[in-house]
Chains A and B, each alone.
Chain A
Amino acid sequence: MVLSKTGSSVKAKRLFLIHLTMLVIGIFSVDASAKRLTIEIEIKNHFFIPDKIEIPANTKIKLIVHNRDSSSEEFESYELNREKLIMGERKANIFIGPLAAGEYPFFGEFNQKTAQGWIIVK
């Protein structure tokens, strides 16, 4: 069957719309399936509370760090390759993982003597 020029363009348009719909559905379903664990911790008087967080292996988590101090802090971890400034009395979201089992230390760069924490992946 020979399609006219307009016929083929209509077909192409339809095909495009089908793909677009599939893509949108796909993205939303992937997003829903990857619904991640959220863990909230605090910084108080330059300490992380709690300073140990246990998470399951091979899972992505959203770590929300609430800085209750008036001074800013930098969340940093060499093991996790993460680095984020958290201003005074603000919070920050940091996505972590998926990780293999093990211990991953993190620290507050501006107050390293006190601000130390560990993510324990089991």
Chain B
Amino acid sequence: MLDAVIIVLRETLEASLLVSFLFVYSNHFSVNKKWMFLALVSGIAFAVLVALQLSEISDLYDGTGQEVLFITVLLALSLLIQWINFIVIMPNYLKSNQQLLKILFSSIIVLAISLEGAEIIVFFQSSLANDNHFHANLLGSILGLGIGISAGAVSYYLLNQLANTGVIICLFLLVVVSAGMASQAVSYLMQADFIESGYPVWNTNTLIDERSVIGQLLYALIGYEATPSFTQVIVYFSYVLIPSASFIYFKIFSVRKN
């Protein structure tokens, strides 16, 4: 049962934290949340569709269909999140882009829920075919889903309470979440042999084991990888440094102007 809890929790946590950050943004920048609720529902519908078609999808492109799908979704997600961060960072740009933000928020929610949801549904399908553990897996899945959603809700209320500080934390976390997604996309590029797989640059497994609870949590939150390849490191840090540099630049710039 514990395995089921962890499998479902891991996927749920990634999506629910992301959604909670976007909800905090939408409150702070007064973006209408109606679309986001619609996006939640369509995300679940897409997840079911992807899960049901995954056999066919996997066979596409010489057996790399699954990777192609995941790479596309992960890169789209990471770029859309970065786009939002840039809108939020640039002070004058924000006011005229409420409509755009609404579309970006909703697209991210649809993509994230389809991706994570599909994996949960495939796991669930697998449990259905496995009589011995079905009840334990069902209970575990419900627990995992519940804990994951609760974690998202708690994160939303906490960050919302913090007002401006909460938004800055959201900004930081969204930057690292998108960096983690881009790094994961690179890992899939290697798995499908689209790019050469390099040797790991370092191994931090002795410091924080990727399998431990902290390791898993860090994976969901900042895309922690104990043995990243050189390309993954470069992509990750570009994703972190570019918005960070812009943030510092625009902050100093706006302070000087005032």
Contacts and interface: CB of A to CB of B under 8 A. Distances in A.
Given A70-B129, A95-B197, A110-B7, A84 B66 contact: yes
Contact of B63 (A69, A82, A93, A110): A93
Interface residues of B, number: 35
Interface centre among B63, B192, B228 (most CB of A within 10 A): B63
A14 B255 CA distance: 56
B191 interface: yes
Contacts of A78: 205, 210-211, 226-227
B66 A109 contact: no
A92 interface: yes
A55 interface: no
B72 to A, nearest CB: 16
B7 A82 contact: no
A99 B229 CA distance: 12
B191 A95 contact: yes
Nearest to B198: A98
Q: Which 10 A-B pairs have the closest CB atoms?
A: A71-B129, A95-B193, A93-B63, A71-B126, A87-B55, A72-B126, A78-B210, A110-B126, A70-B129, A81-B187
Nearest to B215: A78
Q: Assign chain A's interface to a size class.
A: 35 or more
A112 interface: yes
B165 interface: no
B198 to A, nearest CB: 8
Contacts of A92: 58, 63, 66
19 contacts: A46-B130, A70-B129, A71-B125, A72-B125, A79-B227, A81-B190, A81-B191, A82-B187, A84-B67, A87-B54, A90-B59, A91-B63, A92-B66, A93-B63, A95-B191, A98-B197, A109-B3, A109-B7, A113-B3
A93 B194 CA distance: 13
Interface of B: 3, 7, 54-55, 58-59, 62-64, 66-67, 119, 122-123, 125-130, 187, 190-193, 197, 199, 205, 210-211, 225-229
B58 A87 contact: yes
A48 B205 CA distance: 25
A85 B119 contact: yes
A114 to B, nearest CB: 11
Interface in A56-88: 60, 62, 69-74, 78-79, 81-88
A95 B126 contact: no
Nearest to A79: B227
A90 B62 CA distance: 13
A97 interface: yes
B58 A60 contact: no
A58 B217 CA distance: 32
A81 B229 contact: yes
Nearest to B4: A110
A88 B197 contact: no
A88 B59 CA distance: 13
Contact of A71 (B130, B187, B191): B130
B66 A85 contact: yes
A96 B122 contact: no
Given A85-B66, A90-B58, A95 B192 contact: yes
A78 B64 CA distance: 20
B55 A90 contact: yes
